[in-house]
Chain A
């Protein structure tokens, strides 16, 4: 399974756009890229998933370049409630039995 690398932490202010980049140099052809969000004392929650180019939902956007060796989670106009740990995962959806969580990125949104 591809290993991912993310910044350990990031700071932002309310109303700003936050971009969290994840490196996955060894991503395989069948791997999808998935991002989860975890608030303190809660389980992780699915945010977004993509394979290539750009994916957007009501919460975030996911940008994936053509080589797929990295991906960027974009959170528009963050609020204090977006303070959380964000995990980037890559894995073959046909073998979803084993998704590996990395150390995640701790995002702190300040007023």
Chain B
């Protein structure tokens, strides 16, 4: 069984479009995250949710809006996509602090 899953795995879209990436974890964890990994492979945290509440919102354009309908889901909606948004986006979750479980990633390409 997949612990942290993301859909879609690949996303190719045009500039200016709005898109969403979904994340689900079946680990019963309270905390979920979104990370962005750019072309230089830097992995940077974007958002963190704990029990459906936003804990961390790093310096991310407000075009990015996370939504957590329940503890098991943290979706990422992106408005007005730009070329610089092209990256791999990882969802992760943690249950108690010592280990984060990452999803397989979503490769977003903005043309």
Contact = CB atoms under 8 A, between A and B. Distances in A.
Nearest to B107: A41
Interface stretch (A21-29, A75-83, A91-99): A91-99
A100 B45 contact: yes
Interface residues of B, number: 27
Categorize the interface residue count of chain A. Answer: 20 to 34
B105 A43 contact: yes
B105 A46 contact: no
A4 interface: no
B14 to A, nearest CB: 24
Contacts, number: 61
Given A42-B104, A46-B100, A98 B56 contact: yes
B31 A97 contact: yes
15 contacts: A34-B99, A41-B104, A42-B105, A43-B4, A43-B103, A43-B105, A44-B100, A49-B99, A93-B97, A96-B31, A97-B56, A99-B100, A100-B45, A103-B42, A104-B41
Interface of A: 32, 34, 36, 38, 41-46, 49, 85, 87, 93-94, 96-101, 103-104
